[in-house]
Amino acid sequence: MNHKLQNDLSKRERQVMDVIYRRKGASAKEVQESIPNPPTNSAVRSVLIILEKKGFIKHKRQGKEYIYTPTIHPKKARHSAVKQLLATYFDNSLESAVSTMLEIHNRDLTEEDLERLTQIIQNVKK
């Protein structure tokens, strides 16, 4: 399945997908409880139906409820989200995005974190 994830989803649909990815599957109730300023139960169910019709999720019955799981591998979804983030906020500049992330996490970075990041850069150079 080939989707441009971020472009194909509304804000509410992205929120629902975020919950489903984070939890590795969720019921409608779990989705509703995990969204800030949650919509009604019927609105959540409507979004789940839309996402399923679009091919982003599938469901299976577990007891009395349906559990929704993503149909798109998390790595592919992350790649799509990062591409959209780069295009929208950083004019496709990797340097600008990485610089911003490092600024945000500067105080939290350990020496091991910096070494791992340096290793990642070294591997890309090879």
Instruction: Give residue 7's pLDDT.
Output: 58
Q: Which pTM was predicted? A: 0.71
Instruction: Give residue 84's pLDDT.
Output: 84
* Mean pLDDT across the chain: 90
Domains and CATH numbers, the chain: 5-70 (1.10.10.10), 95-126 (no CATH)
Query: CB-based burial of residue 12 (10 Å sphere; 0-12 exposed, 13-18 middle, 19+ buried)?
Result: middle
Instruction: Give residue 1's pLDDT.
Output: 41
